[in-house]
Structure 1
């Protein structure tokens, strides 16, 4: 069988990997996301990057993760709320003739979850919730070993649930969404420093930084509690760039979950950090290409 290409489209960077059918990384490439990240510019960037990553055309299948829901056929990016101009974009149809390869699309959180389930922290688990904490808050859900996308392909947007009906406005149209409290922007509302600085300050014992991370963890725990009641997963994974500072906030999130979620609904539950870092999305996109685009 031919090799696979996985693409993770983010607001600042596009990460690509060429993989064997067993998930071994054979080559990788990262390029800046065009600014503004309009669909046409992103298409051009992906086409150029795939040509550079796979000049010998060893891969015939491409999976692409994007920050938003796809249609049920995994061909159309229905909306990417934090990228301009992304409404009902037929991305697979645009890319296939230019790449000369078949393409499937997925939500980037779903891709990260599939990567963790293939070769990461979710190997062997059948009911998993993943949250990705970064510029936004994304995620994915695995139920009985299957990726849950719901009717029409748009299910499992955990960052868009409301944790405060009177909270800050969200690009989704909601108010007080989990994303507004547990994204980088949400963290900066607590203390106006970048995450790396807040991590460094907290490690040095700065009381303001420690309090910001504590409050951040509390909001995360509030959101997780609602999600756990609905899904009762075996495993909750915390990924994304902010997970690097999990030592400062995860204990507070766990305490909130323990307080809010009755014991029967969290029986056997494990909550820990994801394993694959920024490579999870491109790996999971490749896995979905393998599953959906059979030779």
Structure 2
């Protein structure tokens, strides 16, 4: 959790463990305690929060956070009641995308997509400088697009999704090892690991190609834990994109690694809050 100025300066930050089990009441109580530590003089004017799953279009209800066991949790109402501060929530990947667009690798672009490569594959879409969430708040699930009609089953109900090809869980399933182990092996000259990352880049590009054709972004930003090895797969990814996407759809397209790391979600949640304040007043 952090306290941010309108320009994005982080005034102070704290880290609190997620209560276990992560019941909504316990988690939101911990959030309030963190806010009190961050802002003992009660100067903050609004709250923004990222949650791991889709939220409603108004940014008030966590509709489904599978890893927390949350279903239709009225986060904003609860925090507003406990803090007396206007509150807005967003999907955590959307927050990360908004953070990168505000203060990170995407700050010079008005139209971009973010893919977070980790345990799963998250995504965010920024169009004309604004986070795009669709009519019902759930747009931007970029990791769930289909690569292989008959591929491995996905928790979403899809099969052969991008997530089932390029996430950490997909790598474990296919090769029986962790991404960081393959990263280390490739840097030591292991030809099998090097070949894997080259193929990984091509598969990632196949998914990105579909997104580029639909959205024609100025930039594709890659974040998440697997992006630490981006130098191993970016060359094959970019080469594959150049083959798959017409030049007219990828004019001046830039592929960049995210720069905010684990802070991206917090930064984006702060931006959500400032945008909310601006609209309210």
- Superposition TM-score, scaled by structure 1 size: 0.89
Q: Tell me the equivalent position of 1:218.
A: 202
Distance 1:110 1:32, change over 3 A: same
Q: Does 1:155 align with 2:139?
A: yes
- Superposition TM-score, scaled by structure 2 size: 0.93
Q: Does 1:277 align with 2:261?
A: yes
Find the aligned partners of 2:33 and 2:201 in 1 and give their Cα distance.
40
TM alignment of 1:201-212, pairs within 5 A: 201-212=185-196
Shift of 1:170: 1.6
Task: Give 5+ residue unaligned stretches, structure 2.
Answer: none
Find the aligned partners of 2:253 and 2:232 in 1 and give their Cα distance.
21
Distance 1:169 1:84, change over 3 A: farther
Task: Give 5+ residue unaligned stretches, structure 1.
Answer: 1-15
Shift of 1:38: 3.8
Q: Tell me the equivalent position of 1:48.
A: 33
Higher fraction of strand: 1
Q: Tell me the equivalent position of 1:288.
A: 272
Aligned residues: 279
Find the aligned partners of 2:25 and 2:160 in 1 and give their Cα distance.
32
Q: Tell me the equivalent position of 2:18.
A: 33
Shift of 1:171: 1.6
Shift of 1:36: 4.2
Q: Tell me the equivalent position of 2:70.
A: 86
1:167-209 per-position Cα deviation (integer Å, ceiling 9, x unaligned): 2222211111111222211122232222222222211112232
1:243-282 per-position Cα deviation (integer Å, ceiling 9, x unaligned): 1111111222212211211221111111111121111111
Distance 1:65 1:204, change over 3 A: same
Q: Does 1:22 align with 2:2?
A: no
Q: Does 1:185 align with 2:149?
A: no
Find the aligned partners of 2:172 and 2:200 in 1 and give their Cα distance.
10
Distance 1:99 1:194, change over 3 A: farther
